[in-house]
């Protein structure tokens, strides 16, 4: 029963809505305007690098994990702790529907990402960031973009 439900769910995800892939510089602008540059001390490059390795800048990216929870959107935010997916038992720390984290409007995803950084005291939540971005010179990530 549970397995069938999950299979149906995966089917829905695969045939889901059209995806939008942001360009690096468009994201840099959106992130900068949303106050992510140096948020909790993390420069803009950290955010652009993290989004790249988590989602490839794909706003509709979704990944089903072994425990049945799902990572959502450009920041791959997980349904178990951070958003409300509806069926699974969740904590929903961001007080947001997971579906709001896979829209082209990144407002809710950014608010939630800020909360994650604040509550977990850093960007270690993101494996892609830890593996590829942490402690590196990230200035190239905003190179050529019209952000300060
Ligand atoms: C973006 O993610 C969605 C959902 O996982 C996927 O269907 C789509 O193919 C991805 N787009 C690209 C260009 O990779």
User: Does 35 fall in a domain?
Assistant: yes
Q: Between 15 and 51, whose confidence is greater?
A: 51
The verdict on residue 95 lying in a domain is: yes
- Inter-axis angle of helices 24-33 and 44-55, to 10 degrees? 130
Q: How far apart are CA 59 and CA 142, in angstroms?
A: 19
Mean pLDDT, rounded, of the chain = 89
Predicted pLDDT of residue 120: 96
Residue 6 within any structural domain of the chain: no
- What is residue 121's DSSP assignment? T
Q: Report which of 61, 66, 77 is spatially closest to residue 16, judged by C-alpha positions.
A: 61
**Average pLDDT rounded to a whole number, residues 61-65:** 97
- Unique residue bearing structure tokens 């892609």: 128
Instruction: Give the mutation target among 19, 57, 102 for probing the ligand 1 site: most ligand atoms within 8 A of CB.
Output: 19
- pLDDT at position 87, please? 66
- Read off the pLDDT of residues 8-45 as tens digits, 9 standing for 90 and up: 444 444 445 577 999 999 999 999 999 999 999 999 99
The residue range of the domain holding 34 is 20-142
Residue 10 domain-assigned?
Answer: no
pLDDT at 15: 45
- 15 CA → ligand 1 middle, Å: 10
For residue 113, the model assigns a pLDDT of 98
**13 in helix, strand or coil?**
helix
* Ligand 1 atom with the shortest distance to the CA of 58: 1
Residue 57 Rama label (left phi>0; alpha psi -120 to 50; beta): left
CATH (domain of 31)? 1.10.530.10
Question: Residue 77 forms beta bridges with which residues?
Answer: 72
What residue ranges line ligand 1, CB within 6 angstroms? 19, 21, 58, 60-62
113 near 125, Cβ under 8 Å?
no
Q: Which of 45, 47, 44, 77 has the alpha carbon at shortest distance from 60?
A: 77
User: Does residue 94 lie within any of the structural domains?
Assistant: yes
Between CA 72 and CA 19 the distance in angstroms is 12
pLDDT at residue 2 above 80?
A: no
Query: Does residue 147 form part of some domain?
Result: no
Domain count, the chain: 1
Structure tokens at 131: 């593996």
pLDDT per residue over 81-113, tens digit each? 999 988 656 789 999 999 999 999 999 999 999
Comparing 71 with 13, which gets the higher pLDDT? 71
């Amino acid at each position: 029963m549970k397995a069938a439900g999950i299979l149906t769910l995966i089917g829905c995800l695969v045939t889901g809505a059209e995806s939008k892939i942001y360009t690096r510089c468009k994201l840099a602008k959106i992130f900068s305007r949303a106050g992510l540059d140096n948020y909790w001390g993390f420069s803009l490059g950290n955010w652009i690098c993290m989004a790249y390795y988590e989602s490839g800048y794909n706003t509709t990216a979704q990944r089903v994990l072994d425990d049945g929870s799902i990572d959502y959107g450009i920041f791959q935010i997980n349904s178990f702790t951070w958003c409300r997916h509806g069926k699974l038992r969740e904590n929903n720390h961001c007080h947001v529907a997971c579906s709001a984290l896979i829209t082209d409007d990144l407002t809710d995803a950014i608010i939630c990402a800020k909360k994650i950084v604040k509550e977990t005291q850093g960007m270690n939540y993101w494996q892609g960031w830890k593996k590829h971005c942490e402690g590196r010179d990230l200035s190239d990530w905003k190179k050529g973009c019209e952000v300060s």
